Copies of this chain bind each other. A is one copy, B any other.
Amino acid sequence: MIDLKNDLLLRAAKGEDVERTPVWLMRQAGRILPEYRAVRNSLSGFKELVETPHLAAEVTIQPVDILDVDAAIIFSDILVIPEAMGLTYEMIEKKGPYFPSTIESEADFSKIRVATGDELQYVYDAIELTIKELDGRVPLIGFAGAPFTILCYMVEGQGSKTFSKARKMLWARPDLAHRLLDMITESTIAYLKRQIDAGAQLLQIFDSWAGILSAEQYRVFGIPYLERICRAIDLKVPVTLFAKGAHFSIRDLALLECNTIGLDWNMPINLARQMAGPQRTLQGNLDPTTLYASGKDIVKQTEKMLAEFGPNRHIANLGHGVYPDTNPEMVKIFVETVKAYKHEKK
């Protein structure tokens, strides 16, 4: 076990006092850094990078070196879980993920099984390598997709604005939806436990499509599966839940055994704090397009956000993954502003 030189992220997640607010960015590994593109362009595709531990570790550490963030997040994809369950995905350049085969009927369940976790050894290898190479500089975040979001891709087969096919299953065949969610949940629990064993020091669950459900449906098809995952992790490491767009669910999420609730940029901070209560850390939520503004405006908006969240129980981040055409210099301004900020004494 390597001692952490910078454990601000973990302490903020647990609600301990921190000297300053920790900061990292969703999608910091990949997308924006020229150093990432150099690695990526030397390969056949995105999946080769995900599946090659020493390269995944390399691009995971790049933002720690270059952007000086307070955490690394393992370079991977939420879609490794459906693949481990039996549905192979392709990552199509500029279009996104595509599943040649999907789950639409009872018969389709013959294509899939509950993953044991063994299928994803390359992720654990990448985590171990990263932990070794980071040598305690900052914590490493592991992650997985939330069961509902994974169901969306397994049923729809690709991204969609409405995911109406996936949502159709919730109404037309709720029995199949629950069966699939159950299988995804079991697979995800096995996967996350192995990530902890490999060295992940915090886990984030991404429910990227939570926002397309009504509050009522999210209570049926979203929350109970997140609850099972949280119980299984049992706070062995801090857990962050990020249900993008699900402004209506913050109260429900805050009742689960988690430490941190991620907020998108649409969510008013004071309202989120009211809904989450004082016992949860909030993560977020600068509008990612703020990084297109001038340096002066980025400083102003970042400081405004920090003041509103207050000194404790906050992890600074964007409200969504950093957009691909963001200038890394502007990301540095954001990171430096968080690090330099002094909260007013009350």
Q: Which residues of the partner chain B approach A265 to less than 8 Å between Cβ atoms?
A: 214
Contact with B along A254-291 (1 / 0, CB 8 A): 00000000000111100100000000000000011110
CA separation between A265 and B289, bound complex, in Å? 26
Q: Which residues of the partner chain B approach A164 to less than 8 Å between Cβ atoms?
A: 288-289, 323, 325
Inter-subunit contact B323/A292 (CB<8 Å): no
Interface size counted on chain A using CB atoms at 8 A? 36
Closest B residue to A319 by CB, please name it.
B214
Provided the pairs A164-B323, A164-B325, A214-B287 are in contact, do residues A266 and B245 lie with their beta carbons within 8 angstroms? Answer: yes
Inter-subunit contact B293/A172 (CB<8 Å): yes
Q: Which residues of the partner chain B approach A168 to less than 8 Å between Cβ atoms?
A: 289, 292
A208 to chain B, nearest CB (A): 11
Q: Closest 6 CB pairs between A and B? A: A171-B293, A167-B289, A168-B292, A171-B292, A164-B323, A214-B287
Copies of this protein in the complex: 2
CA separation between A49 and B287, bound complex, in Å? 39
Q: Which of B161, B171, B212, B268 contacts A297 (CB 8 A)?
A: B171
Q: Is A105 engaged at the interface, CB distance under 8 Å to the other chain? A: no
CA separation between A271 and B265, bound complex, in Å? 20
Q: Which residues of the partner chain B approach A159 to less than 8 Å between Cβ atoms?
A: 161
Inter-subunit contact B266/A214 (CB<8 Å): yes
Q: Is A211 engaged at the interface, CB distance under 8 Å to the other chain? A: yes
Inter-subunit contact A268/B323 (CB<8 Å): no
Given contacts A172-B292, A215-B268, A245-B245, 13 further A-B contacts (CB under 8 A): A159-B161, A164-B325, A168-B289, A171-B292, A172-B294, A211-B266, A213-B266, A214-B265, A214-B266, A214-B319, A247-B247, A247-B248, A248-B271
Q: Which residues of the partner chain B approach A217 to less than 8 Å between Cβ atoms?
A: 287
| Most central of A246, A288, A292 by chain B CB within 10 Å | A292
Q: Is A237 engaged at the interface, CB distance under 8 Å to the other chain? A: no
Q: Which residues of the partner chain B approach A323 to less than 8 Å between Cβ atoms?
A: 162, 164
